[in-house]
Structure 1
Amino acid sequence: MIDAVRIGRYARAAARWTRLLLARGRADGVRVFYGHDRVPAPGEPVAGGTAKFQRLAARFPNSPTNFTLLYLGSTWLPRDARPLLALARRRRVPVVVNQSGVAYPGWAGHETEAINRRFRAALLAADHVLYQSEFCKRSADEFLGPPRGTWEVLYNAVDVAHFTPRPAPAANKPVLLLGGDQTQAYRLELALQTLARLPEATLVVTGRLVSDPQPLLDELGVADRVEFVGRYAQAEAPALYRRAHLLLHTKVLDPCPSLVIEAMACGLPVVYANSGGTVELVGDDAGVGVPHPETWERDVPPKPDAVADAVERVLADRERYARADRERYARAARERAVERFALEPWLDRHAAVFADLLTGARPRARSSRTR
């Protein structure tokens, strides 16, 4: 039996396609459709790639029917992406694709090609591709092939006036933050194993969990030093970051995690697996990377001892600079986020790309800066 949720989804899709097919004439100006009937409003919880759409829609509202530009994200492709792309081609509507990660054997296993087939269709249909990092470009070239249209690297961005450092020092005992959704079991497991090697520290864990953590909490004896806070909205995020002394980012081969930029903007150094796009975000001074190979065949997280050593290195920096305004790593994290990943230049770049495409011009080349 088809459940009520699926019936509702089909009904909304049918209504949308009725509106799309009945639309006559061509609208003027920048009217962007993100492939979904609605984009989460400011204040609503978002996960992963939907955060960037929430930020974009604040300047370029979602126009599901009479749109002049189709903007799709690889992490938030609609179920009807193929017919939407065909409609855009028939109506000569420019297509922009924001390309994040890809499926690879170590993560997706035997479903790798099935997942990548959808990504590839969007990439090849795009007039312009925005890769979220150099790593995203490299991985897309490996698994999807080169784009047919123009492209550039445009890193994710955050509102650095919203994500700001705490005005006063946090608690004396070190607080580690494991942010985002824990959609791979190893992410939480590694964080807990690291915590077990840091007897003075506590851990705050956010987001959804894919498995029950209680057995491992009991085995490691750290249950009284871990707090699970669940999902959160962007409005609540700065307060979460300000509770911590550093962000523990255990995901390997992460394409371009916005939560890392948010944490840096709040003055949090980052301890992370030294692979994927995170390397490009953190750079040389805003945290410590734990050696990790860039391999597609298996997702093997770093060893807990190595992660704990990296945490202690950052905490030692904190102790050394305790009397200064801000410790070196924290100051560098904030400065890097403000200089390279502020929201307004990111939105302005989108406006320039949209204007070029809507006037029939090729988007002007733009170089990226990371280090």
Structure 2
Amino acid sequence: MAYPGWAGAATEGLNRRNRGVLHASEHVLYQSRFSKDSSDLFLGERKESWEILYNAVDVDHFAPAEVAPAGGPVLLLGGDQTQAYRLELALRTFRRVLDAEPAARLLVTGWLVSSAETLLAELELRAHVEFLGRYAQREAPGILRRAHALLHTKVKDPCPSLVIEAMACGLPVVYPASGGTPELVGSEAGIGVSHPESWDRDEPPSPEALADAVARVLADRDVYGAAARRRAVERFSLRPWLDRHSELFHQLVQ
């Protein structure tokens, strides 16, 4: 599903194709309630067979570190930084975190859509931010275990696997309270920060609001982290997800 805030003039062209596939399908799996509601809005409500099935995680492979990372608090901005605002927001948020926590560090993964050098210099962050580049999925647990919390800056994210994987590794999540992310994190595994809701443009929370949420999570990170792991195991384990797909495929071929 495309919306004007990120797809611009291409929105209807993308949705025309998606609309045809959606309504021609025998059964549809929506990744979140947000995915269902936004699909209804832009692609038309589906009357036929559908269900919501969240993404899943191998909770044995993605598990907490035996020993928490040493030193000051470490934040992780994970995934690819394919929208410029996501990295800029993370850096401006981290600047405020660093003012309160001088030993804090920020890890940034993935492909960068634009250079961060100018902003790093402006905010005097170069010595406190580490860019890890792109990584293979097998490396993901090790990267997650290097952090104390996940800073997820994407708005309207339908069902980010990164968030589920981080929770499985015991990382609380700080994020914009939109999209499907609040459904994943709930009230106990992190803090969502409200922001203006619009389909015409992405308007994320302010760095100040996100930094305040980071401070609150770090102040009680053991409780948030344990809740994150528990929620991932109870709600997003891989085995039930695989079983449901097997059941569906069996039904569809009968």
- Give the TM interval when normalised to the shorter protein: over 0.9
Of residues 100, 105, 113, the one that matches 2:12 is 113
| TM-score (structure 1 length as normaliser) | 0.66
1:156 equivalent in alignment to 2:55: yes
1:263 equivalent in alignment to 2:158: no
Deviation digits for residues 80-107 of structure 1 (CA, Å, limit 9, x no counterpart)? xxxxxxxxxxxxxxxxxxxxxx211111
SS class of match (1:247):
strand
What amino acid does structure 2 have at the position aligned with 1:124?
Answer: H
Deviation digits for residues 247-287 of structure 1 (CA, Å, limit 9, x no counterpart)? 00000000000000000000000000000000100001000
Q: Distance in 2 between matches of 1:358 and 1:192?
A: 50
SS class of match (2:37):
helix
1:219 equivalent in alignment to 2:122: yes
Q: Distance in 1 between matches of 2:189 and 2:197?
A: 21
Q: For residue 110 of structure 1, report the CA deviation from its aligned partner.
A: 1.1
Deviation digits for residues 95-150 of structure 1 (CA, Å, limit 9, x no counterpart)? xxxxxxx2111111111101111211211111000000000000000000123531
Please report the RMSD computed on the Cα atoms of aligned residues, expressed in angstroms.
Answer: 0.9
2:68, 2:148 within 8 Å by CA — same for their partners in 1?
no
Of residues 39, 44, 49, the one that matches 1:140 is 39
Larger radius of gyration: 1
Alignment of 1:1-371 (within 5 A): 102-147=1-46, 149-199=48-98, 200=102, 201-318=104-221, 327-359=222-254
1:126, 1:147 within 8 Å by CA — same for their partners in 2?
no
2:196, 2:204 within 8 Å by CA — same for their partners in 1?
no
Q: Distance in 2 between matches of 1:293 and 1:305?
A: 15
1:180, 1:259 within 8 Å by CA — same for their partners in 2?
yes
Q: Distance in 2 between matches of 1:172 and 1:329?
A: 19
Higher relative contact order at CA 8 Å, sep ≥6: structure 1 or structure 2? 2
2:82, 2:113 within 8 Å by CA — same for their partners in 1?
yes
Q: For residue 350 of structure 1, report the CA deviation from its aligned partner.
A: 0.3
SS class of match (1:237):
helix
Aligned length: 250
Q: Which aligned runs of 4 or more in structure 1 are off by greater than 4 angstroms?
A: none
2:172, 2:228 within 8 Å by CA — same for their partners in 1?
yes
Q: Distance in 1 between matches of 2:90 and 2:131?
A: 13
1:247, 1:269 within 8 Å by CA — same for their partners in 2?
yes
Q: For residue 293 of structure 1, report the CA deviation from its aligned partner.
A: 3.4
Q: Distance in 2 between matches of 1:262 and 1:355?
A: 28
Q: Distance in 2 between matches of 1:171 and 1:232?
A: 23
1:126, 1:148 within 8 Å by CA — same for their partners in 2?
no
SS class of match (1:250):
coil
What amino acid does structure 1 have at the position aligned with 2:168?
Answer: A
Q: Which consecutive residues of structure 2, in runs of 5 or more, have no partner in the other structure?
A: none
SS class of match (1:309):
helix
1:127, 1:148 within 8 Å by CA — same for their partners in 2?
no
Q: Distance in 1 between matches of 2:32 and 2:68?
A: 33
Q: Distance in 1 between matches of 2:244 and 2:196?
A: 33
What amino acid does structure 1 have at the position aligned with 2:30?
Answer: Y
SS class of match (1:300):
coil
| Greater helix share, structure number | 2
Q: Distance in 1 between matches of 2:177 and 2:47?
A: 31
1:125, 1:148 within 8 Å by CA — same for their partners in 2?
no
What amino acid does structure 1 have at the position aligned with 2:175?
Answer: Y
What amino acid does structure 1 have at the position aligned with 2:50?
Answer: W
Q: Distance in 2 between matches of 1:313 and 1:220?
A: 23
SS class of match (1:166):
coil
Q: Which consecutive residues of structure 1, in runs of 5 or more, have no partner in the other structure?
A: 1-101, 319-326, 360-371
Moved more, 108-117 or 140-149: 140-149
